[in-house]
């Protein structure tokens, strides 16, 4: 059985590269790039390297904001598992808001 790398290790690797390559990046510049990369991912129909571009930006941002992304995802999954979900007429999924 192969061992999966911890996402925090990958996030730190991404952040280290981004710090060396784009030391003057800002939250705003990162979000603008993220919007661009999301568009490329959508246009690509799910190309794995376009997906990687989106993840690289998200992981870099998480480290910049001192977010333990593994812990945050685990916590959010727990919340999502307890929610009721619906799909609207165009296929967009959302949780049912509590009244």
Note the Cα 81 to chain centre separation in Å: 19
CA 59, CA 80: separation in Å to the nearest integer?
21
pLDDT along the chain (99 residues), means of 10: 80 98 98 98 97 98 96 96 94 89
Contact, 96 vs 86, CB < 8 A? yes
pTM above 0.85, yes or no: yes
Q: Which two tokens stand for residue 9?
A: 């290790």
Domains of the chain listed by start with CATH number: 7-95 (1.10.287)
User: Quick one: pLDDT at residue 3?
Assistant: 72
User: What DSSP character marks residue 97?
Assistant: P
User: Quick one: pLDDT at residue 99?
Assistant: 73
CA 48, CA 25: separation in Å to the nearest integer?
24
Q: Which two tokens stand for residue 86?
A: 């619906």
């Amino acid at each position: 059985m192969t061992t999966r790398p911890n996402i925090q290790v990958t996030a730190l690797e991404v952040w280290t590269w981004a710090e060396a390559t784009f030391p003057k990046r800002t939250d705003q510049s990162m979000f603008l790039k993220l919007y661009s990369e999301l568009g490329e991912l959508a246009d690509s129909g799910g190309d794995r390297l376009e997906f990687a571009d989106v993840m690289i930006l998200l992981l870099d941002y998480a480290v910049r904001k001192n977010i333990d992304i593994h812990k945050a995802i685990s916590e959010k999954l727990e919340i999502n598992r307890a929610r009721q979900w619906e799909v609207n007429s165009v296929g967009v999924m959302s949780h049912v808001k509590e009244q």
